[in-house]
Structure 1
Amino acid sequence: MLPATASRVENATSEDLNRRFAAEIEESLRHHAEHPEHIAHRLDELDHEWDIERTLEANAATLALTGTLLGAFVDRRFLILPAVVTGFLLQHALQGWCPPVPVFRRLGIRTTAEIDRERAALKALRGDFGRIEAISTEANPRQRAHAALEAAER
């Protein structure tokens, strides 16, 4: 059975690294609880942070293109490189693991879910979700939905 999309990379990552990423998120939240004026800047940084998927895609595309060009213009044996890379991509899509994943994780590349956890916690710390709670549960469902979308988009 295939692992869930959102957790497949974390499931394939060592517990030590997963704990490290969780500790970094907690440290960020402690810092921003003491310095709420820095939250907007950190949210902007998170918006620009490359997740593991984007990093793998860029890495694979670079290697596949390089192998294709070398195979076309230097030696056909270089065509093995794009074949291997696409195999690794398939393995990653199915299992959440391929040889570059542990390397990128050790370099600090996080999953989208890890980045989103920090983002949501920072928004809660800033009070973005308080607007939803401020609207009565008896209010128009459209108003509550609109408030929830506004909080999520901030």
Structure 2
Amino acid sequence: MESWNQTAADAVRSHAPKDVNQRIDERVERCVRHMAQQDRAEISRYLQKLEREWDIHRAVMVAGSAVAVLGLWLARRDGGHWRILGGIAAGLMLQHGLVGFGPLAELVRAVGGVRTRREIDLEKFALKALRGDFERIPRNDGGPLARANAALVAAQS
């Protein structure tokens, strides 16, 4: 199935394996379809949760920094060879910062399903459309599935 999420400008997404992107997109679709059957209050609660969700860039920086600190701590306790771990982590974070993606991002995304900020925002916009924040989404026409699909399309445009 062709994905509704056509974010070619997203470096992380464009370099991630298709199955990882598809798994993330399917999770969003399931959520939006479920939320299409919920009331405004439930959608608002879930939107608050999305506001706190970490994106891939934040997760990579925290994970890389934690590994670098661990390498320095181990080097202090057990000898200097562990500094290599910190150097590798710093290098991976530098690569991610310069080009917008890298092996660390691919790992975090594949294992944890961590999304890009744009992917999180697309889900938020779709849910806001369902909640009635925008005029382009039908209120009662076609049922929850039609409303969910219209919200996903509106979020993309």
Give 1:46 deviation, angstroms. 0.6
AA in 2 matched with 1:53: H
AA in 1 matched with 2:109: R
- 2:54 counterpart (50, 58, 68): 50
Which residue does 1:94 correspond to in 2?
Answer: 98
SS in 1 for 2:106: helix
SS in 2 for 1:113: helix
Matched residues in 2 for 1:73 and 1:14: separation? 39
User: What does 1:1-154 align with in structure 2 at a 5 Å threshold?
Assistant: 7-36=10-39, 37-106=41-110, 107-130=112-135
AA in 2 matched with 1:11: S
Instruction: Give the share of equivalent positions with the same residue, in percent.
Output: 37
Give 1:120 deviation, angstroms. 0.9
8 Å CA contact 2:65–2:90 kept in 1: the answer is no
8 Å CA contact 1:43–1:122 kept in 2: the answer is yes
SS in 1 for 2:61: helix
Give 1:115 deviation, angstroms. 0.5
SS in 1 for 2:101: coil
8 Å CA contact 1:12–1:96 kept in 2: the answer is no
AA in 1 matched with 2:80: R
Matched residues in 2 for 1:73 and 1:17: separation? 38
Matched residues in 2 for 1:69 and 1:43: separation? 39
Larger radius of gyration: 1
Task: Report how many aligned residue pairs link the two structures.
Answer: 126
AA in 2 matched with 1:114: E
Give 1:98 deviation, angstroms. 2.5
| Deviations 1:46-71 (CA, angstroms, capped at 9, x unpaired) | 11212111111111111111112222
Note the aligned Cα RMSD (angstroms): 1.9
Identify which range, 25-34 or 64-73, moves more after superposition. 64-73
Matched residues in 1 for 2:38 and 2:74: separation? 51
Please report the TM-score for the alignment, with normalisation by the length of structure 2. Answer: 0.72
SS in 2 for 1:110: coil
Structure 2 regions of 5+ residues with no counterpart?
Answer: 1-8, 136-157
